[in-house]
Amino acid sequence: MSDPLQPPVAKKELKITEIHGQKIDDDYFWLRFKENQEVIDYLTAENDYTKEKTKHLDTFTDELFKEMKNRIKEDDESVPYKFKDYYYYDRNEKGKEYKIYCRKHLSLENEEEILLDINELAKDYEYYKLRSFKISPNQNLLAYSVDTTGYEKFIIHIKDLETGETYAPGIENIGWNFEWGDDSIIFYNIRDEAQRPYALKRHIIGNPSERDVVIFEEKDTERVVYLWKSKDHRFLFMNSESTLSSEIRFLDLNMPLGDFKIFFPREEKHEYSVSYKDDYFYVVTNSDNSTNFKLVRTPVENIAKDNWEEILEHNEDVRIQKTEAFKNFLVIYKREEGLPKVDIFYEKDNEENHTIEFPESVYSVWRGDNQEYSNDFVRLSYTSLITPKSTYDYHVSTKKIELKKEDEIKNYKKEEYVTKRKFITARDGTQVPISIVHHKDINTPAPTYLYGYGSYGHNEDPEFSSSILSLTERGVIYVIAHIRGGGELGRPWYEDGKMLNKKNTFYDFIDTAENLIKENLTTKNQLVIAGGSAGGLLVGACVTMRPDLFHFVIARVPFVDVINTMLDASIPLTSQEWKEWGDPKVKEFFDYMLSYSPYDQIESRDYPHILVTTGLNDPRVAFWEPAKFVAKLRVLKTDNNDLILKTNMGAGHHGASGRYEYLKETAFIYANVLDKVGLVQK
């Protein structure tokens, strides 16, 4: 019998790729075929090894899970929002994994109507994820989309709210979203074999989905198709979008069987978004070298660019992100000095235009459930590293902000924690912001958990997590590095961390780590780094560049096999990603990507402790990338540090779908963190 503490060693089966006069050897290409029983056996063996290797933490992991569960309010309810004649909300019940979606007619004092109990729908599935939930205009029908594997193959179900009947069969293979046209029409996007949402269809309620009409098909494999509705429900918008280019069409829903019109034809490096208010389209656009975007408007009846009236000019220090239109005002979401800001806007040069003030200097804010076009208030979601998620209504006319709800966190005292924002100097002189939270009684140097992402222009803003308290209350410093490649400091911040500038992302993270050590916040033997997906690429690249700098590395669903994935357009998302990372069929990009691709940069040397996670059904970062990364590390690393791979055999990119099961996954990771930094009592 084999020693259960001996790690499994994957067989080698050489595959050679020749490109640009080079040969790329891949001993583990065979791991991508999950229909091969050998692949499943290998993943199972790795899971068994992980279980055995971490069994000394089983009791502690259970304690952490109970601790995390006991912090949250298990019986909880969202703040209701009004849509026409009903108040809509969702709630959780103690002991149940999933939400229950409800409404009440006219008054919150009236009887509750349960629309969907996800617990009942999910009872026969290992994984069940609700994607979208949309009520028909007359509020008699509910359309909702679900994924039951983690592979993000969504199905639309339509429920008659008067009879309780759910029509069968559902509409399969939809993309990420859909919208009601009127009470009998649904528009939705569909996917191709590479999981790209590439076309728009129209469904007539009562007809079989086989008869649904294709309205638009995008042939360019670098583009995806998605749709949304104006807040007053007059227009349906569809964007055929690549990373650097938009092409929006619109349909007047007074004629839902009519034809879409192009708002502005696609141009390379021209991105824009559109909202509607008072017979005008409001356009956030980067045209005319407006790197951080500007706001223009144009009459619906004459949308030619010659009629675009500038409302907010381009500002090198302020990134305009999007607008939200209400009957009496416009909401503008932007970023300034690395923080999200929200403006109330009436018209150009109006003295009533103003920026909403928030109670903290470092925070996150995003739009909430704003369903009513005529509302005189804006609902916002707000949080910080020390403030639990909160729902605010900002009353525009009085400029008063009303707290509707702050999530209840048990056994938590906000005043016992300290949060701050500072800048570190990267190697090229760039000032990189970081957000920090820790207990007020911390003694430094202390164990530190450094998290980052840094891709797609995504803003990794500071948000409260009740789970992180299991680290910070034990003396861990939690740090977010807002590195280049993200969007925190505007569009140039993103541009300076992508394509042939991608290494800036990794350098910023490494320089942040070195700064934390230099400033005596932590030491190399106390430093944990973590990231997921593109953030998994981040920590994978950093650990192959500087394996001496970190004590423990957590790579969740990591994108680590950059060259092989970007060369294969049959893999979901690949073709849409070329504008983010580069196309390795072009030698300049190939050479650059090869120089940081973690899988290709593994050498025979010492590495820190490493924990890698993945999901067997992940369509975004296929399970074989983490599996190959671990298999190659196993045979080349020269240390005795832990290297473990944990595969969720019934989930995808985002892990478990149930709230308790997800907490268990988090508890497992944090138990390993606390163990590695010496904070688990033996």
Mind telling me the catalytic residues? 533, 618, 653
Closest to 645 measured CA to CA, from 17, 27, 38, 48: 48
**Euclidean distance between CA atoms 160 and 143, whole angstroms:** 9
Q: Find out whether 477 and 440 touch, Cβ atoms under 8 Å.
A: no
Q: Are strands 261-262 and 272-277 parallel, antiparallel or unpaired?
A: unpaired
* 131: Cα within 13 Å, side-chain hemisphere: 21
Q: Find out whether 201 and 156 touch, Cβ atoms under 8 Å.
A: no
DSSP three-state, residue 418: strand
**Euclidean distance between CA atoms 120 and 46, whole angstroms:** 33
What are residue 393's phi and psi, to 5 degrees?
-110, 120
**Euclidean distance between CA atoms 30 and 24, whole angstroms:** 15
Helices 624-636 & 37-53 angle (0-180, nearest 10)? 60
**Euclidean distance between CA atoms 279 and 300, whole angstroms:** 6
Closest to 378 measured CA to CA, from 330, 319, 312: 330
Query: 157 forms bridges with which residues in the sheet?
Result: 144
Q: Find out whether 636 and 43 touch, Cβ atoms under 8 Å.
A: no
Residues contacting residue 329 through CB under 8 Å, at least 6 positions apart: 344, 345, 346, 396
Read off the amino acid at residue 315.
N
Q: Find out whether 280 and 300 touch, Cβ atoms under 8 Å.
A: yes
DSSP three-state, residue 182: strand
Tokens found for residue 47: 């899971």
What is the b/e burial string over 277-291, where b = at least 16 CB atoms within 10 angstroms of the residue's CB?
Answer: beebbbbbbbbeebe
* 335: Cα within 13 Å, side-chain hemisphere: 23
Q: Are strands 318-325 and 330-336 parallel, antiparallel or unpaired?
A: antiparallel
Give the position of tokens 């403006």: 343
Closest to 48 measured CA to CA, from 5, 81, 103: 5
